[in-house]
Amino acid sequence: MSLSQQCSDALTELAAKVREDLARIGYASGSWSIPVTHEDSHVLDVAIVGAGQGGQTTCFALRRQGISNVEVFDRAQRGGEGPWVTFARMLTLRTPKHVTGPDLGIPSLTPQSWYEARYGAEAWQSLDKISRQDWQSYLDWIRDTLEIPVTNDQELHHVGWENGLLRLTFRDSSGNETIRLARKLVLATGIDGGGSWHIPSFISDALPKSAYAHTHETIDFEALRGKRIGVLGAGASAFDNAATALEKGAGSVDLCLRRAKIPAVNPYRWMENAGFLAHFSELPDLQRWRFMCRIYSLNQPPPQDTFWRCRRHPNFAFHPETPWTGARMEGDEVVISTPNGEMRFDFLIIGTGFTIDLSQRPETRDFASSVMLWRDCFMPPEGEENALLGSHPYLGSRFQFEPLDPADPKAEMLENIHNFTFASMPTMGLSGASISGMRFGVEKLARGIARDLFVVDGEKHLASLLAYETEELISLDPPVEKAHS
């Protein structure tokens, strides 16, 4: 038997074990939500936009809460959901290998169980971190094993409110539109799901698009062989892209950052404790604000192995206290202005992260002005202002948007849209778009949605109880015992 066949058989056996484990803990997880129809159209209890790790796990968690009338939508083709095999350029995940999430506490569903089935127990013991390609394969296996209902090539372009239901307009890559109705909507659209990737205007306004790319974009690194590359940013993604350019034969890579030194402290490692992950959202606003001011100020540094991945190349250099202040073209050269003088490159890679602005997203643009933001409801003490934190949506306890004006006609609609993206972080902590906080965040989200659906149909459930007449006591006479010969 070939090694690939052995691997396939082991994963098939593991999938069977998963189903057996779930059957053993299946108590009270049967569907209980009362079906809704509208003009003979099927109405989903929950539509989830985003079929990456967050969207898939949310669907799984809802099913364990007894909500199975759920469908997941993603704009990517199958296998291309999330960043792992698209724009992520790290060699491995940045989280420790023992971090769990999509398994929701089921041992046979954990990354370790999957990895050992595919590569063996010894391989797991010697593993440092999981590769991003393996992580995508793991997520694909979970999707198949749990039979997560995903519809690919569907991008959400509009959310409307019609007779107490969400009217969702999806568009495929050919421009065809599909309308779906749902009672609840979960936005699990990743790290940029609360806005858009950020490119400084002095670059986008002054340079042709052929001269630069953001770290999230497709980059033809082979075309950069022998070229002088300038990288802007101090975060892990900036270093990932710098390393990829170096490994593909770039002539030189200069990474510039405005800070006096490269970030070294990773707040994510501190946050990985059950107290913070489960209960941060219960803190008063001022404490949450102060937590997030500290966390955001630290940023996420490049892991040690990522830094050495760059540093071992003699044609790599990093420049602290070198912010870019201007850009222009001189012939085929890109000229960058800095406080330390001009720098000349053939191509730029921009690692300046993303902005939080719901008006920049097609799925949230039409109701963005009705959403309450932190700056609308919280006034920090003098000296503790933070414009970035203030731009995030201020969410309710179930990740739902809160209306800026309770009298807004869109207020009821917003209460049924749950934001499980990175933009939820100031309100809910490390949960949306994060492996580290996924299990805690998804469970809180799923319980909240289940709570809403049950409470709103409370009278219908009461009527069901009043009509319940299944008899358990069916005989008043004891069974006749057979005589033994």
Give the Cα separation of 336 and 231 in Å (integer): 11
Around Cβ 140, how many Cβ atoms within 10 Å? 15
Residues 185, 73: contact at Cβ < 8 Å?
Answer: no
Residue in the structure block whose two tokens are 């643009």: 365
Residues 225, 248: contact at Cβ < 8 Å?
Answer: yes
Give the Cα separation of 83 and 197 in Å (integer): 14
Around Cβ 27, how many Cβ atoms within 10 Å? 6
Give the Cα separation of 276 and 273 in Å (integer): 6
Nearest of 104, 2, 186, 110 to residue 439 by alpha carbon: 104
Query: Mind giving me the DSSP string for 291-352?
Result: HHHHHHHH--PPPHHHHHHHHTSTTEEEETT----EEEEETTEEEEEETTEEEEESEEEE--
Paired sense of beta strands 252-256 and 316-319, if any: parallel
pTM for the model stands at: 0.95
Those residues with Cβ within 8 angstroms of residue 252's Cβ, 6 or more apart along the chain or in another chain: 228, 229, 315, 316, 317
Adjacency order of strands within the sheet including 341-345: 326-330, 333-338, 341-345
Q: And the tokens for 471? A: 């008899």
Phi, psi of 120 (to 5 degrees): 105, 155
Tell me, rounded to whole angstroms, the distance of Cα 6 from its chain centroid. 33
In eight-state DSSP terms, residue 225 is B
Those residues with Cβ within 8 angstroms of residue 21's Cβ, 6 or more apart along the chain or in another chain: 106, 107, 108, 109
Tens digit of each residue's pLDDT, the chain (485 residues): 566 777 788 999 999 999 999 999 999 999 999 999 888 889 999 999 999 999 999 999 999 999 999 999 999 999 999 999 999 999 999 888 998 999 999 999 999 999 999 999 999 999 999 999 999 999 999 999 999 999 999 999 999 999 999 999 999 999 999 999 999 999 999 999 999 999 999 999 999 999 999 999 999 999 999 999 999 998 899 999 999 999 999 999 999 999 998 888 888 889 999 999 999 999 999 999 999 999 998 877 888 999 999 999 999 999 999 999 999 999 999 999 999 999 999 999 999 999 999 999 999 999 999 999 999 999 999 999 999 999 999 999 999 999 999 999 999 999 999 999 999 999 999 988 789 899 999 999 999 999 999 999 999 999 999 999 999 888 888 888 776 65
Query: Mind giving me the DSSP string for 237-279?
Result: HHHHHHHHHHHTTBSEEEEE-SSSS-----HHHHH-SHHHHHH
Those residues with Cβ within 8 angstroms of residue 367's Cβ, 6 or more apart along the chain or in another chain: 159, 358, 401, 410, 413, 414, 417
Q: Which amino acid is at 210?
A: S
Phi, psi of 395 (to 5 degrees): -100, 160
* R_g of the chain, CA atoms, integer Å: 25
In the prediction, which pLDDT does 4 show? 73
Inter-CA distances, 122 with 6, 88, 116, Å: 16, 27, 8
Residue ranges of domains in the chain, CATH in brackets: 3-194+356-462 (3.50.50.60), 199-264+302-352 (3.50.50.60)
Q: And the tokens for 421? A: 């993206």
Q: And the tokens for 361? A: 């997203």
Q: Which amino acid is at 151?
A: T
In the prediction, which pLDDT does 264 show? 87
Q: b/e for 313-323, b at 16 or more Cβ within 10 A?
A: beebebeeebe
